Amino acid sequence: MDEREALKEIEKLRDEINYHNYRYYILDSPVISDAEYDRLFKRLVETEERFPHLITPDSPTQRVGAEPLGEFKTIAHTIPMLSLNNANTPEDAREFDEKIKRFLNTKEDIEYVAEPKLDGLAIELVYADGIFTGGSTRGDGYTGEDVTLNLRTVKSIPLKLIGEKLPLLSRLEVRGEVFIPIKAFNNLNRDRGKKGEPLFANPRNAAAGSVRQLDSRITATRPLDIYCYGTGTIESAKFKTHFEILQALKRWGLKVNPLIKICKGIEEVIKYHEEMEKKREDIPYELDGVVVKVNRLDLQDMLGALTRSPRWAVAYKFKARQETTKIRNIEVGVGRTGALTPVAVLEPVNVGGVTVERATLHNQNEVDRKDIKIGDWVIVQRAGDVIPEIVTVIKDRRNGNEKPFKLPSKCPLCGSTVIRNGAIHYCTGGLSCPAQLKEGIRHFSSKRAMNIEGLGDRHINQFVENGVIKDVADLYNLNKENVTGLERWADKSAQNLIEQIEKSKNTTLPRLIYALGIRQVGEHMAKVLADNFSSLDELMRTSYERLMEIHEIGPETAKSIITFFKEGHNRKVIEKLKKAGVKTAVSGQFGAPIQWMGRVSSLKDKQFVLTGTLSEFTRDEAKELIENLGGRITSTVSKKTDYVIAGAEPGSKYDKAKELDIKTLNEAEFKRFISS
């Protein structure tokens, strides 16, 4: 056999094996025996061994794993993999539906796609010219770990797409859930037990741990499977509904859950949820609910997303699994905002495959309402199958030795007075309280706040415990000398941190507001405030009445903001930040607005679409810049789009913009546009 004949033979064998893999792993309907499949595979291996330079990454022989990695690299998602808000009851589901209808200004039934919600690990697969080229975990939704080598070993993930009308000349990003079926999980744990290896707590942990192995040869031995549930970027293929996308994925050889159903209105969704919950124990993989998505893509685009979740989808959870255990003690935790939280210390109990030893009691009202005492026998559940909580006390099992519980009048960490605000008790120690100080710095420096890279938990603990930092503003007083004076700090690492802290001085108003850690002010609310106040100084001077005029701000949030800025400790820290040179892009050193690149709020209500690769901005940076100037980012090009910003290799969105005669800007034009 010469090379030309070998190439022809290899291509023929690969096509045959890919087809039989599809029949076996995707359709669960093989058309040849295992022995015949093995002969085909052996023939391919032998031919590739004779002509190793003909081996390609998409060959079926390349699923065995590779040499271990030192660490995972990261991959940025071109479209964020957002998390979903939860619905726990039929009333919650109906409320979700009502919000959709109000937003769309319609009384007509909405068509939804209902999908089983697998309890696995969310991943993204990337195909170029129909070939699998990369895969990553969800991570923080914006960047994930590069687990390409591991995902190559999952037999139900095709290395090469099949079928007609493939998006062969473009990029296809597929989102899915990797999991381990229950029977395979039990077999895996049985084998590990025989070898004296520690057992996995549940199928989800086993799947996540397997995908995140640095040695992909270990991943190749694990019984991983996948169901694909959607797409990120998808070029050169057009769809009208989410269900059409799922059908296309099936045609292209990707595994899609057969239990997915189109529902006409929310009542059909609720009925589907009830049916799936009844079948839960008979389904061969772990489920924790149903995902509900608006089917029409144009409606999804109109609904858009909040900071962390789309408006057009919700996770409708099943009832949590419950167990009985005893409360050994009740401890008090102090959070970043100073809130005191009672936490039950439990006799360890297995709930849904997870050992539970602690459960939140939320607040004193909950303790009193449920009449919880130290020593009680209780029913505990994992709310949404995740967070442990106590459902009820088994009062018939009381013997008289139980002890009532009340939150203390003094903070258990700093001794400051504890006050009550509504249902919550707060430590008045502010940033002098160790718990609030460490958590406050951690929040202040986090990626979505001031974004100080390299300042980890260990460093924060070290700075606080050594008295180097007494509030967040002290970060800007750090210098190389007082950092290198601490253990395990070298000149280079200290200099890198100082540079990152210096870099963080130039930020945006929403980031700064969010970084302050005001109770009830998350990322979205910080942006709402920045949209309504031109500077931090103006926000600090505002009144409760002015805040209540803003559509998205309610009484509790307004009260929290006013209380925060009236507190002398907080104002002192803000003054220190100002003196340290912290400033926002729009408002200078918290004072009157300055023209940032000349166009403050000049993009208000304008819709932008990003496509292609930008060289001087990340997608997050470009998105944040546009939103800070009043614009809005959407994922698809429509007649409502005002501008398309096109980087390198822009794809079909650029073509669509030309077709609709929408203004397109390259990166240089975009920079001039926002500077004019």
Question: Which fold does the domain 90-317 belong to in CATH?
Answer: D-amino Acid Aminotransferase; Chain A, domain 1 (3.30.470)
Helix axes 457-465, 434-444, angle to 10 degrees: 140
CA distances, 427 to each of 340, 436, 461, 572 (Å): 7, 9, 20, 18
Residue type present at position 118: L
Q: What is the mean pLDDT of residues 339-352?
A: 91
Query: What local confidence, expressed as pLDDT, does residue 676 receive?
Result: 59
Quote the tokens at residue 272.
């589907």
- Please state which of the ranges 175-184, 226-235, 480-489 shows the lowest mean pLDDT: 480-489
Q: Is 263 helix (H, G, I), strand (E, B) or coil?
A: strand
Q: What is the mean pLDDT of residues 178-206?
A: 87
For residue 403, pLDDT beyond 90: yes
Distance CA 426, CA 445 (A): 23
CATH architecture group of domain 607-675: 3-Layer(aba) Sandwich (3.40)
- Please state which of the ranges 51-65, 173-187, 210-224 shows the lowest mean pLDDT: 51-65
Q: Is 193 helix (H, G, I), strand (E, B) or coil?
A: helix
Q: What is the mean pLDDT of residues 534-557?
A: 91
Q: Name the pLDDT band for 594 (thresholds 50, 70, 90).
A: very low
Q: What is the mean pLDDT of residues 326-350?
A: 92
Question: Are 292 and 269 spatial neighbours (Cβ–Cβ below 8 Å)?
Answer: yes
State the average pLDDT for the chain: 87
CATH architecture group of domain 3-63: Orthogonal Bundle (1.10)
pLDDT in tens, 416-431: 888 888 888 988 776 5
Distance CA 148, CA 467 (A): 44
Helix axes 90-104, 266-279, angle to 10 degrees: 150
Query: What local confidence, expressed as pLDDT, does residue 204 receive?
Result: 87
For residue 376, pLDDT beyond 50: yes
Q: What is the mean pLDDT of residues 9-23?
A: 87
For residue 585, pLDDT beyond 70: no
Bridge partners of 330, per DSSP, are 344
For residue 614, pLDDT beyond 90: no
Tell me the backbone φ, ψ of residue 438, rounded to 5 degrees: -65, -45
Sketch the domain layout of the chain as residue ranges. 3-63, 90-317, 322-397, 430-504, 507-584, 607-675
Can 430-504 and 507-584 be said to share one CATH topology?
Answer: yes
pTM over 0.85: no
Query: What local confidence, expressed as pLDDT, does residue 595 receive?
Result: 37
Q: What is the mean pLDDT of residues 191-215?
A: 86
Query: What local confidence, expressed as pLDDT, does residue 3 receive?
Result: 87
What's the CATH superfamily of 430-504?
5' to 3' exonuclease, C-terminal subdomain (1.10.150.20)
Q: What is the DSSP string of 566-579?
A: H-HHHHHHHHHHHH
Q: Name the pLDDT band for 599 (thresholds 50, 70, 90).
A: very low
- H/E element, 608: strand 607-611
Query: What local confidence, expressed as pLDDT, does residue 596 receive?
Result: 36
Helix axes 568-580, 555-566, angle to 10 degrees: 70
Q: What is the mean pLDDT of residues 290-295?
A: 98
Q: How far is CA 215 from the centre of its chain?
A: 25
Q: What is the DSSP string of 345-407?
A: EEEEEEETTEEEEEEE--SHHHHHHHT--BT-EEEEEEETTTEEEEEEE-GGG--S--B----
Q: What is the mean pLDDT of residues 293-304?
A: 95
Q: Cβ atoms within 10 A of the Cβ of 487, count?
A: 6
- Comparing CA positions, the residue from 596, 586, 620, 584 lying closest to residue 506 is 584
Question: Are 650 and 662 spatial neighbours (Cβ–Cβ below 8 Å)?
Answer: no
Q: What is the mean pLDDT of residues 173-183?
A: 95
Q: Name the pLDDT band for 570 (thresholds 50, 70, 90).
A: confident
DSSP state of 474: G
For residue 577, pLDDT beyond 50: yes
For residue 598, pLDDT beyond 70: no
For domain 322-397, give the CATH number. 2.40.50.140
Q: Which amino acids are annotated catalytic?
A: 117
- Please state which of the ranges 463-472, 500-509, 607-616 shows the lowest mean pLDDT: 607-616
For residue 495, pLDDT beyond 50: yes
CATH architecture group of domain 507-584: Orthogonal Bundle (1.10)
